[in-house]
Amino acid sequence: MLERYLDYQRRTLLNICAGLTAEQLASRPLASTNLTLLGLLRHMAKVERIWFRIRAGATGAPPLFDPDLGKDYDFEHIDPTDAEFAVAQLEEEWRLGDAAVASLDLDHPVEARDYTMSLRMMYLHLVHEYARHNGHADLLRQAIDGVTAR
């Protein structure tokens, strides 16, 4: 059930972005924030890698973005020519992340910054992360072209 609900949230982000041009994905339609749909795609790829491949699966994968570039590089470095790659990269992180934890029990310990959680709790954390950012994405999409209920 956790895997299915996470997959639903994952697909929701792509659905919100569907049909937009690279320039629209990279646009900042709301003056009150620096968020872009492209930035959200990049951010969630980073989050997926950190939680599934680095923390839970301990695959030895490096961070998606060089930490020396800053913690918000995924949001701040926005180039429309990266849009197609960002979507493919997110989908690849889903595939690799799912594979990294496929053999782990839901009680498997996952080390976070200063505490340990179960894989089960990590799934809940990721569902929450997507749901929060999907809300942001809904607002951005509506500001870009008026489309809602994606």
**Helices and strands (H, E) in the chain, number of each type:** 6, 2
Domain count, the chain: 1
Mean pLDDT value of segment 1-5: 96
Looking at every residue in the chain, the average pLDDT score rounds to 96
Let me know if residue 150 belongs to a domain.
no
Asked if the model's pLDDT at residue 42 lies above 90, the reply is: yes
Asked if the model's pLDDT at residue 149 lies above 90, the reply is: no
Question: What's the CA gap between 86 and 91, in Å, rounded?
Answer: 9
Let me know if residue 149 belongs to a domain.
no
Structural domain range at position 22: 2-144
User: 133: domain CATH number?
Assistant: 1.20.120.450
Positive or negative torsion for Cα 97, 103, 105, 110: negative
Let me know if residue 93 belongs to a domain.
yes
Question: What's the CA gap between 147 and 23, in Å, rounded?
Answer: 16
Write the pLDDT tens digit of every residue in 70-116. 999 999 999 999 999 999 999 999 999 999 999 999 999 999 989 99
| pLDDT at site 39 | 98
Asked if the model's pLDDT at residue 148 lies above 90, the reply is: no
Let me know if residue 51 belongs to a domain.
yes
